Chain A
């Protein structure tokens, strides 16, 4: 196929990607949007395979076979609770692929991917840098989300300075490569530095900020693809990579706004030496926390008119989404109004709770955003908080000295009674005590989320016939 034909088809697939992303932003067209983007990818792949510059198919076949099998297995086996890890991992693979393409381009002497000239070398350098950072950065994010690594910020004093110096060295190497002075040895050094940078950039970021990190790494993997496009002058790579890179940045900003964090605060602030102003947990909770039992709470629920369920990451941990749905069904059968109040960054990935509740077949209209649900807490009889912590912490509203001050929260404390289902009084990702737990209208239900919800539903079911009679 001639080059202009190839480029026309690349244009078609770029248009399909744009239409796909656009459709993915509306609930009604989202499924179609994903299909559209997949077709766009298929067009780009088929046209590339027909390209006359491809001489052997053996290596392609081997790679595609391995990739397809692993990809299908991952996509069908993964549990919805583990979605954040999955996206992090896929991101890393995308970055790794761009890295491998760039190194192959550097080594190739001629042929379709061989990098030539100043621009080619500059593009190789940038692709290696961004691709490698995406690869190891995503691996660290995966490790934190999968709890292979501790979720808290890890680092050493001066890690920001270390990263800055490494970045300067990396950019100098890229400049040398661009000037045509570097050999394979220098490229290997660049790869090593970039791989280390991926780790040291992400590891000091705490678990609470992971939604932002995933969105940002997503953006990086797009930029890496675009940079790879500049190596070989491939238009579809440039356009699609830029699209993903830009949309990833916007998603990152949405996350930052939802958490009231600045992007620089997320990237460099977590390990900052904090003053001794830490609130003492014992002081906050001393003697004021009321522990309750499923039976007692089910009595409250029996008479409730309106119940709001506030899920957090603990719901995912306990795999309690189906149990929660059953509890809600039981309540609704008794004529109680049940609403789900979802904080934008509840869970470890934006929109994660929506996915979990959809898995449990919760109606779309019953999931309300923070803006929708907040004005009505005062008219709510019982709020059930399951595995959520920081997004309900009133310190974000009241305590100017608190690290989370200014973060928009769900004002659950305005409800008549707040029931918090939690394993212990341990702090959330932000590492702060939550005065909500010590409020006079708060009842704690200590235990595994799923177990407690099941017992609640059980107690409520036992009460039902008596009510009806």
Chain B
């Protein structure tokens, strides 16, 4: 129970932090910010890795679902960070 309370505390504090971080953002950065934070939400990759690598002999399903999750999350992470970088490079090129 103690651990759960700690996790909930982390969650609530992170929510407040997330709200405070994004208060005043220039319109130019709305799209990159969205695709960048989108890439961060691919953190679910960590869970996917654990599932795919659990070697659960009881069930091929766990490994298969894990692999699907790894593939999807990797697309999210790799694609997200790369495309954000591509966009931001265009902004910086002319300044």
Contacts and interface: CB of A to CB of B under 8 A. Distances in A.
Interface of A: 14, 17-18, 20-22, 24-27, 30-31, 33-35, 37-38, 40-41, 44-45, 48-49, 51, 53-57, 59-60, 62-64, 66-68, 70-72, 74-76, 78, 80, 83, 86-87, 90-91, 93-94, 96-98, 100-101, 103-105, 107-113, 119, 214-215, 218, 221-222, 224-226, 228-251, 254, 342, 344, 349-352, 354-355, 358-359, 361-364, 367, 369
A105 B83 CA distance: 31
Contact of B90 (A93, A94, A224, A355): A355
B44 A369 contact: no
Which 7 A-B residue pairings sit nearest by Cβ, starting from the closest? A67-B74, A246-B18, A63-B70, A71-B78, A55-B55, A351-B30, A54-B53
B45 to A, nearest CB: 6
Most A CB atoms within 10 A — which of B12, B33, B69? B69
Contact of A250 (B22, B29, B54): B22
Given A67-B74, A96-B68, 19 more contacts: A41-B39, A66-B71, A74-B79, A75-B86, A83-B31, A83-B35, A93-B72, A97-B42, A105-B47, A108-B62, A225-B41, A225-B47, A235-B10, A240-B14, A242-B11, A246-B18, A354-B27, A354-B31, A354-B91
Interface of B: 3-4, 7, 10-12, 14-19, 21-56, 58-59, 61-95
Contacts of A71: 74-80, 82
A247 B63 CA distance: 32
B81 A38 contact: yes
Contacts of B18: 21, 242-247, 250
A67 B70 contact: yes
A97 B73 contact: yes
Given A41-B40, A71-B82, A247-B21, A355 B31 contact: yes
Contacts of A358: 28, 87, 90-91, 93-94
14 contacts: A41-B77, A54-B53, A75-B83, A97-B42, A104-B51, A108-B59, A119-B4, A222-B37, A230-B7, A242-B12, A246-B18, A250-B18, A344-B27, A367-B28
A62 B72 CA distance: 12
Nearest to B33: A24
A195 B43 CA distance: 22
A45 B44 CA distance: 10
Contacts, number: 410
A460 B48 CA distance: 58
B50 A112 contact: yes
Given A21-B21, A93-B72, A101-B69, A233 B3 contact: yes
Contacts of B3: 233
Given A21-B37, A25-B24, A226-B11, A60 B49 contact: yes
A177 B73 CA distance: 26
B70 A237 contact: no
Contacts of B59: 107-109
A367 B4 CA distance: 48
Contact of B27 (A21, A247, A342): A342
Nearest to B77: A41
A240 B3 CA distance: 18
Nearest to B6: A235
Contacts of B33: 21, 24-25, 247, 251, 351
Contacts of B31: 83, 87, 349-352, 354-355
A26 B24 CA distance: 9
Q: What is the predominant secondary structure among interface residues of chain A facing chain B? A: helix
Given A59-B66, A74-B83, A247-B18, A232 B47 contact: yes
A246 B92 contact: no
B55 to A, nearest CB: 3
Nearest to A228: B47
A31 B33 CA distance: 11
A100 to B, nearest CB: 4
B22 A56 contact: no
Given A34-B36, A54-B54, A101-B48, A363 B67 contact: no
Contacts of B93: 358, 361
Contacts of B77: 41, 67, 71
Contacts of B16: 246
Given A63-B66, A233-B3, A238-B14, A247 B29 contact: no
Contacts of B7: 229-230, 233, 235, 238
A131 to B, nearest CB: 8
A98 B41 CA distance: 10
B34 to A, nearest CB: 6
